Chains A and B, each alone.
Chain A
Amino acid sequence: MFHWLEKRPFFFAVAVFVVIAFAGLIEILPNFAQASRPIIGAKPYSTLELTGRLVYIKNNCNACHSQLIRPFKSETDRYGHYSMSGEYAYDRPFLWGSKRTGPDLMRVGNYRTTDWHENHMMNPPEVVPGSIMPQYPWLFKNVADLDTAYAEQLVIQKVFAVPYNTELPTADGSKVTVKLADTLEGARAEALEDAKVVAADMKNQDVKDAIAAGNVPEIVALIAYLNRLK
């Protein structure tokens, strides 16, 4: 049997492939139909928020922070309601992480403010004595890449039918609409308006100057993203 296979490389390779592919076929494929439906209250990311998400990814925040609250009392006490599959329906890629060098961030928007993030990102140990998180001063200088985020929005709207410009239900019964501009200029202008709201709560002079000049610093986009994690 296998003795026969070892002398026939082609059939050997086919046999190996069938055996290793079997698990994926049974385990992963059938669940694709079920697992990506959004929960009530889930909404797509706005241009500024998605830009912030890309900043989060660019700096590999997910190397030290999870976004997955497990259903234990100790976790729900610390971070809030445990995670549900439908909450992640608009997360491409997922950012669960695999290590909690720092705390979970799944619902950080519920208990941290713009002001807190601003001070913390500039110098973490000043806000949390004993913190081993590095400082992120360059986020205050670098200009965020709104265009790439907008391109990503267009693609997910087209390919995965992500509901932009659509009324979506929320948990308290009200409706919410996440706008997606028709043009790149429109998207930039919208993101800048959102950024002004965030920057209004910030003190850093570089940030204020950049916003005044019509640019969005990475830190503003990142905070917009963190604030919406709820």
Chain B
Amino acid sequence: MDIATLQAYGFFFFTAFLVAILYGYIYHLYSSQKKGKRDYEKYGNLALNDDINDPLVEEKSRDL
């Protein structure tokens, strides 16, 4: 196999892989929001309540 064929295969499978990841991710996002496992939309408040004395949306813990 020459380099161009390798490139083509590499490209195709990597893209297919990424498409699968993308759709899986969309499903994951919306299902975990719906089941109440996680609230993504609360992070919108990062912009709205951004005064230095406003309550934190999520505190940065020490163990990170």
Residues of A within 8 A of B (CB): 1-3, 7-8, 22, 26, 30, 33
Indicate with 1 or 0, residue by residue over B1-36, a CB within 8 angstroms of chain A CB atoms. Answer: 001100100110010000000000100100000000
Indicate with 1 or 0, residue by residue over B28-64, a CB within 8 angstroms of chain A CB atoms. Answer: 1000000000101000000000000000001000001
**Which 10 A/B pairs are nearest by Cβ-Cβ distance?**
A30-B3, A30-B7, A26-B11, A1-B25, A26-B7, A26-B10, A3-B38, A1-B28, A2-B25, A7-B64
Give A32 to B47 CA distance when docked, in angstroms: 45
* In the complex, residue of chain B having the shortest beta-carbon distance to the beta carbon of A33: B3
Interface of B is mostly: helix
Q: How far is the CB of B17 from chain A (nearest CB, A)?
A: 12
Q: How far is the CB of A193 from chain B (nearest CB, A)?
A: 46
* In the complex, residue of chain A having the shortest beta-carbon distance to the beta carbon of B3: A30
Q: How far is the CB of B37 from chain A (nearest CB, A)?
A: 11
Residues of B within 8 A of A26 (CB): 7, 10-11, 14
Interface of A is mostly: helix
Q: How far is the CB of A41 from chain B (nearest CB, A)?
A: 26
Of listed A2, A3, A33, residue having the most chain B CB within 10 A? A3
A-B pair count, CB < 8 Å, reads: 17
Residues of B within 8 A of A22 (CB): 14
Residues of A within 8 A of B14 (CB): 22, 26
Give A7 to B46 CA distance when docked, in angstroms: 13
Q: How far is the CB of A85 from chain B (nearest CB, A)?
A: 15
* A8-B3 in contact (CB<8A): no
Given contacts A7-B64, A26-B10, 15 further A-B contacts (CB under 8 A): A1-B25, A1-B28, A2-B25, A3-B38, A3-B40, A7-B58, A8-B64, A22-B14, A26-B7, A26-B11, A26-B14, A30-B3, A30-B4, A30-B7, A33-B3
Q: How far is the CB of A228 from chain B (nearest CB, A)?
A: 34
Give A1 to B40 CA distance when docked, in angstroms: 13
Q: How far is the CB of B61 from chain A (nearest CB, A)?
A: 10
Residues of A within 8 A of B10 (CB): 26
Q: How far is the CB of B49 from chain A (nearest CB, A)?
A: 18
Residues of A within 8 A of B40 (CB): 3
Give A26 to B6 CA distance when docked, in angstroms: 10
